[in-house]
Amino acid sequence: MISIFASLVLGFLERADNAAQWLVKPLLRKAARTFEQSIFFRALARFLEWADRRNPRTFFLSNFLAPWKLVLLYFFFYTLLALASPVPTFNMAAWKAGIALFGFSSLLIAASAYYFGRKPREVKAKGSFGYGLLLIGIIGLLVNYSWIGFPILGAANRAFYHNVGWMVFFNSFIIGLAMVAVRTKKVSEIFALIGLALLLNFPSGFRTDLVVSLAAILVPAWKNRLLSGKKIVALGALLLPIVILVKVVLISSGDLGFIIPARAGFTLYTLENVLLKTPIWGQPRLALNLLLQLIGVRVIQIGAVAGEATVNLPRFYTSTFAGPLWIGFGWLGVLGGSLVFGWLLGRTYSSTSPWGKGFYGLLFGIALIWMETGPLQIYFLGTALLAALLIAAKKL
């Protein structure tokens, strides 16, 4: 049944892809050619070649885009940032337990990803749907901006930007980006896609959108050996200020000591309070809210409940990947959720098909978000569910 449904959906998307190629593909190539002729591209190419010639024999640069290494490095550096942050610790035992829980969930994700991703998987998936989804996503995001405005220019618009229509169009956009990036053979076209991602996501003011869009482009390019790991590190060093700029504009502060380490410190402070206020079996009635969202019922999100439970404010506070799962399902939620997410990362990483490479880029970007926030964003849950269905249908 799943295979039949998947075939119908993918058949429709392939027809949409064929219809969209006549418009999107020439525009993408023209933008790439224009970019190739610029002084900026030549300077960027020289910088990347210089970075690629560096040979720092470090653990970090050795296959660091593999999911198990990503997760463990994230835990290590995020914990260091938290230790350096000015956020106070009120209950040392609970704070240490929070770090232990964060480390435990990270280790489970890494171990599961390694187990399922250690060997390449040959999957003969046919068809393509990148250009069609990309065009649908571009049109939808532009319509949403015309309706809501640019959230980065007004904080009041942020509450309305991530609406149901946006969720559908953003997922179309990032999946389209990933699938087009998989099929791209020229570095200049990768940069054209990056420019498109920045153009359509920077005005939203959400770092989440920006990070996942960029990962959807860069990771498939790395999987296809179009960009080396060292070049991606160099690009990341150039793109990081843009991500930080989004936060600077939103909070009207250029204090990097507050923007970076304080965020990590407050995340572990929130997790500390979650462990103090939530039993080991969690509060399943709160987890029901997340399920109700899937059928369109307006409810308080688990993240907002976490904020209310910890600091008595009705807003969202990050509490690592483990925090929301602990609130909803206790230690069993942390155990099961970590293993399932590791399975998704490992299976997509090991797939040799274009779809597998594309979806690994998406899940890689989502992992960068979820390691801090937990699996809260319903639109990313939809992406993960789609990946699981494609794996079940033997398409990934």
Name the band, by pLDDT with cuts 50, 70 and 90, for residue 305.
Answer: very low
Alpha-carbon span 148 to 204, nearest angstrom: 10
Alpha-carbon span 264 to 251, nearest angstrom: 16
Name the band, by pLDDT with cuts 50, 70 and 90, for residue 310.
Answer: very low
Alpha-carbon span 102 to 257, nearest angstrom: 23
Amino acid making up residue 161: Y
Contact 241, 225 (CB under 8 A): no
- Is it the case that residue 362 has pLDDT exceeding 70? yes
Contact 180, 28 (CB under 8 A): yes
CA 8, 9, 15, 18 torsion-angle sign: negative
| pLDDT tens digit sequence for 275-303 | 888 888 877 665 565 566 555 555 444 45
- Is it the case that residue 304 has pLDDT exceeding 60? no
Phi, psi of 351 (to 5 degrees): -70, 135
Q: Tokens standing for 276?
A: 């103090």
Phi, psi of 262 (to 5 degrees): -65, -35
Name the band, by pLDDT with cuts 50, 70 and 90, for residue 127.
Answer: low
Alpha-carbon span 258 to 196, nearest angstrom: 30
- Is it the case that residue 42 has pLDDT exceeding 70? yes
Q: Tokens standing for 106?
A: 């990270």
Give, as one character, the DSSP assignment of residue 159.
H
- Terminus-to-terminus CA distance in the chain, angstroms? 17
- The domain spans of the chain are 2-254+331-392
Q: What is the pTM of this model?
A: 0.86
Alpha-carbon span 248 to 237, nearest angstrom: 17
Q: What pLDDT sits at residue 306?
A: 47
- Residue ranges with strand state E in the chain: none
Distance of CA 385 to the CA centre of its chain: 14
Give, as one character, the DSSP assignment of residue 315.
S
Q: How many CA atoms lie within 13 A of 173 on its CB side?
A: 29
Amino acid making up residue 118: R
Higher pLDDT: 123 or 67? It is 67
